[in-house]
Structure formats: structure tokens, C-alpha cells
Chain A
Amino acid sequence: MTQSAVIKREIVYRRPVEVVDSAFPSPLRSVSESIGVAVVVMFLLGSTGLLDWANGLPAGTTIGDTLSNLAQSWNDAMTYLHLARFAEFLRQAWQDFQNLQ
């Protein structure tokens, strides 16, 4: 067998396998809906993380200060509605699991 024949045989033999090859297709409309809802849910339940992120932005800049104030107000509202407890509850439960002796 010539070297080029070896190359051809080996390369044709194993093509890259795609993970998403056998997956179900979805139309753009439903994908946009699901991503939109995911973002809203993350805003509602992840206000503490959002505040941490905003507080990490450079202080003293207009954008940084504005986002930080907005995130603080948002987190206060979500805390008032008890939605911020979701993340806190999970964090505590996971911590307790880690500390099992």
C-alpha cells in the first residue's frame, strides 16, 4: 500500500464525531424565548451575584457607579421579595453537605 493510500484510508476511516449531530432541532423563535426567560430567571434569582459583579466594576466611573447603584436597588427589591434566598439556601445546603463528617 502506498503512503498516500494509507493516508486516505486512515482519514476516511474516522471522521470527527459531532456531539450535536443527533440532537433535536429547534426554531429560532423558541430558542429566543427560552434564552429570554433564562435571563429573566437569572436576574430574579441571582441578584446577589449580580451585585457582586457590579461592585467589582471600576469605581469612580459613570457606568460602574450607575450599574452598582442599580444592582444594589435590584438586590434590595429581590431580598424584600425573598427571591435572593434561593441562592443563599442552596449555598448553605451545599456547605453543610461539604462539612459532613
Chain B
Amino acid sequence: MLFPTVNFGIFFILVFAAAWLLVRHHRWRLILLTSVSYVFYAFWDWRFCFLLLFSSVVNWYFGELIYKSEGKARQNLVAGAVTVDLVVLGFFKYYNFFLSSLNVTLEHLGARHDIPYLDIVLPVGISFFTFHAISYVVDIYRKKLDRPAPLLHMLLYISFFPQLVAGPIVRASHFLPQLEHPVDPDDIRATRAYLLILGGMFKKVVVSSFLATSVVEPVFFDPGSFGARDLLLAVYGYALQIYCDFSAYTDIAIGVAALLGYRFPENFDQPYRAIGFRDFWRRWHISLSSWLRDYLYIPLGGNTGDWRRYKNLMITMLLGGLWHGAAWNFAIWGGIHGGLLVAEHRFLGEHWTESAKSWVKVLGTVITFQLVCLTWIFFRAVDLPHALSFIGGFSRVSAASTLATPFTLILISVLLAAQFLPTDRMAILERYAIRMPPIAQGAVAGALMIAIFSIGPSGIAPFIYFQF
């Protein structure tokens, strides 16, 4: 069930009404939200509801054991829980990739052993709910949670439908305390939620869909047929498409959760205005980058010594790349980001952006954006040969553009300019919206929603991050 559909609209209205009717019955409200989250997940494939249940119960049980243990046993238990989570993730996501790589290696060594592949269907959102589960056991281990969660809270934390299939990655220590007390019916951040949902719908239904079908897909499908100008347009188009697509999902998720009385962390903060790669990763998919920092980079040793820091950065970014998918182009994408982060640390130092002059910051932003776009080629291309063919196509500088219409150029320019809007733009908009009475707010929101769906293409493609 995709967010920008009538089905989800009906589902959400029913859930909203039922959840607030049960506001004085806290336990029943949580049972309701858990049940509807499983229904939401079952729309993709009901069989994987058992996987969701398994992940929740196993990690909840490990959490109980970790809480009661001390010393080495505690460490072994958290290692055991994380291993179980990674084995499940690895089986569904990486098993065939591993076999494919093994077969190729054996063939190169002259030993032909075609190990048969398994017909494995990737459960939607497995990377996200696995990270939620790991967050729970590690937060108990680190005593970021005062006590283990009741099973019901754990079931809801892992399955809560707004963030279930594509994030943001909400940490256990951030979300579970919100379930301990009834939500306040006089404290619903509704106007901000409407703005987030409407903005997300516009980004997904109108912008992302247009860029995908008109610019990105034709070029990435057959880069050899296009000249340098169209290739450049497609790269910029994809940079904006993936931003609009993914940030749309998380904005809608944050808005939907807010309407139910819960708070999710921010996931994007105008990433293409970043000055350098450290800054970029503080603005792009913030919930993943901060998760990787706190649950992988720091346990690896973090910043203890220059070379150890560089090694840990590379490992973290390579694994971050592979988290997106079992393919070498994701590993290369992560590797390039890791290499650029290391280079920034090594040659520019940790705090260079704070003391840099204005023109250096502008230059840093331009260079960072171009390099990020370069890495998107590896991320988007179906495989490495396609990515290299794409890059090789930039030599066809004299070929005329077939895709650069005034509308496309205006759209890309406006979207890039929007990255430099004030950081408190949402609060400014909200101050205007909140002056309207609730009925007027509803009327405007309803009309804008219809406007968005009227100008968008018919049929909505799944969000890009569903495949991860």
C-alpha cells in the first residue's frame, strides 16, 4: 500500500479515527496500531508478517536477557542478537549475491562449480526493520533504555506502519519512551504535519515521477544513445529525483506519525547545499548516517587515531553502500563516499568549513554537489559496465540535447535553488497556515491534494527506497 494512493487515504482515515477514539485506553490503542501495522505490511506479502513477528519476538527476548545479565555474558548476548539479525538480513538480501560472486571467483580459478541460486523474494523494508531491531538490543546493552520494553511496545516499535518500509530509522531509545504514556489529544502537531504530507506528495507524485519518466529512465536505460548534455541532465535529474522521492516518503511518514501523536527524527536537511562530504552526510538520510555512526563506526573504534579513523570510515561507508543492495555498484558508491570522506579529513581537517571564507564555501558546495552526482551514476546504473559506459558518454560533447525542454530546465533549476531556502522555511509557512481556522486549513489542504494528483501522471511508481 503506497502512501500516495486512495487505498492508503482510506486506511489512514480509519486508523486516525479509531486511534483517537481509543486515546483514553492506552493499551488498546497500542494493540490497534500494532494490528493495523501488520495489515499494512500484509498488503505487500502476508507471509512476511511472520518474519516481522519473528524479528520482534527474538530481539525482545534478547533484550530481556541482556538487561538481566552482567559483564561478558551481556556482551555475548548482544553479539548473539545482532548476529541473528544479520543472518536473517544476509539470507534474504545477500545470499544470491554471495553465490554469484563465489561462482565467478571459482570460474576464474578454473573450478567450474555452478552452485544453484535460491528463488528468494526480498521482504519489503527488511533493511529498515532489521536496523530497528539492532537498535533495540544495542540501546538496552548501552543502557540508553532504562528497562526492556513490554512485548506489545516492541511489536509496535518494529512494525509501526509510517516508518516500516522505508524509514526514517527511528531508534529504540527515541521511540519506545513515547509509548510509555498516553498521547496528549491537545498536542497534535497537525499544521506542520499537513505541510509535510502535502510537500511530500508534491515531491513524489509530481516532481519525482516527472523526472523519472521524462529524463532519468530513458538515459540510464541506454546511455550510449545520448550526448554529454543529456547525460549531465540525467545525472542532475536523478540527484533530484532520488532526493524528492526518498525525502517525500520520510516527510509523509513524519507527518502521518505526528497526526497519530508520535514524533520521528528529521531525515533530510537540504543535502545539496552541503559544504564537503562530512556536511553532506549530516544532511542526507540522517537517520541512516547517524545510525551507522553510533552503531557501527564508533564500536569499530571511531576517531581513535588518524589511520584507524580512515579505516573505520571506509568500512562504515562500504557497508553503508552494501546496505542499499547486494551489488558491486552499491559497494563502489559507498567506497567512493568513504574515500572522499577520508580525503576531506586528511587534507582539510575536521573543522575546515567553520573557518573557510565565503568563496571557499561556495566552491566547496559546487564541488561537493558535482562529486555527489558522479557517485549517483554508480548508484543508479543497473551494473558496473552501464555506469562506466555512462561516464564514457561524457566525451560526446558535440551531440545536441534531445531532453532539455524549458520545463525540465526550469524544474531542475527551481529544485536546486530550493536547497538554499531558509532552514526554518517550514516554521515560516506554518506561521501563515496556523492563522487560518481549522475548517479553512482542511479546505485548502483538500484542494491542494486534488491539485497535486491532477497534475501528476496517472499511476504511481513505488518509492525508490522500497527496494532497499
B189 CB contact (under 8 Å) in A16, A20, A90: A20
Q: What residues of chain B lie closer than 8 Å to A52, measured between beta carbons?
A: 458
Interface centre among A24, A52, A53 (most CB of B within 10 A): A24
Would you list which residues of chain B between 332 and 347 have a CB under 8 Å from chain A?
none
Contact B294 A11 (CB under 8 A): yes
B439 CB contact (under 8 Å) in A17, A18, A37: A37
CB distance from A72 to the nearest CB of B (A): 15
Would you list which residues of chain A between 6 and 51 have a CB under 8 Å from chain B?
6-7, 10-11, 14, 16-28, 30-42, 45-46, 49-50
Contact A26 B189 (CB under 8 A): yes
Contact A24 B455 (CB under 8 A): no
Interface centre among B210, B450, B451 (most CB of A within 10 A): B450
Contact A6 B303 (CB under 8 A): yes
Q: What residues of chain B lie closer than 8 Å to A21, measured between beta carbons?
A: 263
Contact B407 A98 (CB under 8 A): yes
What interface size band does chain A fall in? 35 or more
B188 CB contact (under 8 Å) in A7, A25, A45: A25
User: Taking the complex as formed, is A80 at the interface, i.e. its CB lies under 8 A from any CB of chain B?
Assistant: no
Q: What residues of chain B lie closer than 8 Å to A20, measured between beta carbons?
A: 189, 192-193, 254, 258, 263
Contact A19 B298 (CB under 8 A): no
Main secondary structure of the interface of B (DSSP, over half): helix
Contact B191 A37 (CB under 8 A): no
Interface centre among A6, A11, A14, A34 (most CB of B within 10 A): A34
A41 CB contact (under 8 Å) in B259, B298, B427, B447: B447
Main secondary structure of the interface of A (DSSP, over half): helix
What per-residue 1/0 map shows which CB atoms of B301-322 lie under 8 Å from chain A?
1111000000000000000000
CB distance from B52 to the nearest CB of A (A): 23
Q: What residues of chain A lie closer than 8 Å to B80, measured between beta carbons?
A: none
What interface size band does chain B fall in? 35 or more
What per-residue 1/0 map shows which CB atoms of B384-424 lie under 8 Å from chain A?
00000000000000000000011100000000000000000
Q: What residues of chain A lie closer than 8 Å to B447, measured between beta carbons?
A: 41, 45, 86
Would you list which residues of chain B between 132 and 180 have a CB under 8 Å from chain A?
142, 144, 171, 174
Interface centre among A1, A19, A90 (most CB of B within 10 A): A19
User: Taking the complex as formed, is B117 at the interface, i.e. its CB lies under 8 A from any CB of chain A?
Assistant: no
Smallest Cβ-Cβ distance to A56: which chain B residue: B6
Contact B442 A33 (CB under 8 A): yes
What are the 8 tightest A-B residue pairs by CB atom distance, in nearest-first order?
Answer: A41-B446, A37-B442, A16-B265, A23-B192, A34-B442, A38-B446, A94-B455, A30-B438
A residues near B (Cβ < 8 Å) are 1, 3, 6-7, 10-11, 14, 16-28, 30-42, 45-46, 49-50, 52-53, 86-88, 90-91, 94, 97-101
B residues near A (Cβ < 8 Å) are 6-7, 9, 13, 16, 20, 23, 142, 144, 171, 174, 185-194, 196, 210, 251, 254, 258-259, 263-266, 269, 286-287, 290, 293-294, 298-299, 301-304, 405-407, 426-427, 430, 434, 438-439, 441-443, 445-447, 449-451, 453-455, 458
19 A/B residue pairs, CB under 8 Å, sorted by A = A3-B301, A6-B302, A10-B302, A17-B269, A19-B192, A19-B426, A23-B189, A24-B434, A25-B188, A28-B20, A32-B20, A34-B194, A34-B445, A41-B443, A42-B446, A53-B7, A86-B450, A91-B454, A98-B407
Further pairs besides A21-B263, A87-B451: 14, Cβ < 8 Å: A19-B266, A20-B258, A24-B430, A27-B188, A32-B20, A33-B442, A35-B259, A37-B438, A38-B446, A40-B446, A41-B442, A42-B446, A45-B447, A87-B450
